[in-house]
Amino acid sequence: MEKIFIKGGKKLKGTMLASGSKNAALPIIAACLLTKEVSVLHNVPNISDIKTLLDILKYLNVKSSFKGDTLTIDPQNIKNVQIPIHLVEKMRASIILLAPLLVLFSEVKLAFPGGCYLGKRPIDAHLEAFKALGAEIVEQAEFIHLKAKKLKANNFAMSEMSVTATENAIQAACLAKGMSVIELCAAEPHVQDLCQALNQAGAKISGIGTHTLTIQGVKNITALNHTITSDYLEVGTYAIACAVTAGHIVIKNAVESHLTSFWQKMAEAKVRFEHRKNEVEIFPSPALQAVKVRTAVFPSFPTDLQAPFAVLLTQAKGNGRIFETLFEGKMNYIFELEKMGAHVTYINNHEVSIFGKTKLQGCPVASLDIRAGATMILAALCAEGETEISQINYIERGYSDLVEKFSLLGADIRKK
């Protein structure tokens, strides 16, 4: 297995371009199955999760071509065959195939999805949404097995603000007969991007960006031709990396409104930055201050940036605190940070206190999930000595060309 090696102490300098959003690209690729036409997507990130989804589509007899950041999908000869469990278990996002396959074939049977361990992640919200739209739940013990001769529009509330459940509900409602009003929807930027991509292909979705969506069912969806929105999680990760190294970088393709709560916390922590149209400049910030962070659904502080933000708190003066409200498995990275010398009080599965400012020391650590992997990268960048990071397959699931991008910004980083 390859590893990443980083010698810390280098101030990041230069300009980087944020890649397309993984969390937007995956459901939009799934939505391309709703049409018999050939779809073209631009700004698709070159990461392993995208390749895994394309491998799954290959089993369904869907043709694809991925060149540069442009992905072409041809579903004209799609077949409803059993997807190998080992592929479905590679990532949680495979569950977004439920809606298009149910719409196309009136029946779908899918193994339970896998991915990073972040605590219990039930599928109830998905099943309740499909039931509200007229689907029958045949089985949910060993497989997710749904049937629906014809989906019907309905007015209902999501049982929780699950992103992937909302994305499944949106796709199903787009081709259900009648008008659906769905309340308590997730409203993250990647959910908005899915809605916009579908609307460009003939769907009729209103309320985009709010927690209530109104969807008028249509008879068919045409080809999707869409540019994937930028990855706000990548933007946040590189912004923190710059802050903890006292660096000076410009991040292009950054949408300020995607990270309103994050930028508020960065300002509170005395990080100096300036937004311009579709870019943000991070200035040297030598006097970081500890803050309290509480994650929640969009537009609150994103759960996928709380682990990277913990590194900033190790480099900030005072007692910082993180309260993770969504997943009980999101704090596992703390034990890796402690190996590097972080001063942390582990309160429970959802809450920690971090005392700074601390000099971190390079040592062998592991990437335990996608965002924990990014956290180890950031810690290594500001640590003394060399850090060896293993299990980097997690990092490569979510970050495109990470080693190359950090190298261009002046980091002493290599993979071997």
116 is catalytic: yes
pLDDT digits (tens, 9 = 90+) for 240-249: 999 999 999 9
Residues 8 and 49 in one domain: no
Q: What is the CA radius of gyration of the chain?
A: 21
Residues 183 and 250 in one domain: no
Instruction: Decide which of 227, 261, 286 is a domain's last residue.
Output: 227
Nearest in space to 380 (alpha carbons), one of 6, 3, 13? 6
Residues 201 and 66 in one domain: yes
Q: What is the mean pLDDT of residues 165-173?
A: 98
Q: Give the model's confidence band at 143: pLDDT under 50 very low, under 70 low, under 90 confident, else very high.
A: confident
Query: Please, what is the Cα angle at 352 between 331 and 333, to 5 degrees?
Result: 25
Residues 92 and 184 in one domain: yes
Measure the CA–CA gap between 315 and 312, rounded to whole angstroms: 5
The answer to whether the bond into 10 is cis (omega within 30° of 0) is no
Q: Any idea what DSSP says for residue 287?
A: S
For residue 399, give the CATH number of its domain: 3.65.10.10
The answer to whether the bond into 45 is cis (omega within 30° of 0) is no
Average per-residue pLDDT for the chain:
94
Instruction: Decide which of 227, 250, 279 is a domain's last residue.
Output: 227
Residues 220 and 333 in one domain: no
* 163: enclosing H helix or E strand: helix 163-174
Measure the CA–CA gap between 235 and 249, rounded to whole angstroms: 11
Measure the CA–CA gap between 123 and 101, rounded to whole angstroms: 17
In 231-385, where do the E strands start and end? 248-252, 273-276, 279-282, 292-294, 318-323, 343-348, 351-356, 364-366
Residues 46 and 159 in one domain: yes
Measure the CA–CA gap between 133 and 147, rounded to whole angstroms: 11
> Phi and psi for 56 in degrees, rounded to 5?
-65, -45
Domain extent, residue 307, equals: 4-19+230-415
Measure the CA–CA gap between 308 and 236, rounded to whole angstroms: 9
Q: What is the mean pLDDT of residues 121-130?
A: 88
Q: Give the model's confidence band at 406: pLDDT under 50 very low, under 70 low, under 90 confident, else very high.
A: very high
Identified catalytic residue from 116, 185, 195, 382: 116
Q: Give the model's confidence band at 114: pLDDT under 50 very low, under 70 low, under 90 confident, else very high.
A: low
Residues 352 and 211 in one domain: no
Give the chain's end-to-end CA distance (angstroms, integer): 9
Instruction: Decide which of 227, 257, 272 is a domain's last residue.
Output: 227
pLDDT digits (tens, 9 = 90+) for 24-63: 999 999 999 999 999 999 999 999 999 999 999 999 999 9
Domain count, the chain: 2
SS3 378: helix
Q: What number of other Cβ atoms are within 10 A of residue 260's Cβ?
A: 12
Residues 165 and 266 in one domain: no
Q: Give the model's confidence band at 198: pLDDT under 50 very low, under 70 low, under 90 confident, else very high.
A: very high
Residues 259 and 327 in one domain: yes
Amino acid at 10: K
pLDDT at 116: 42
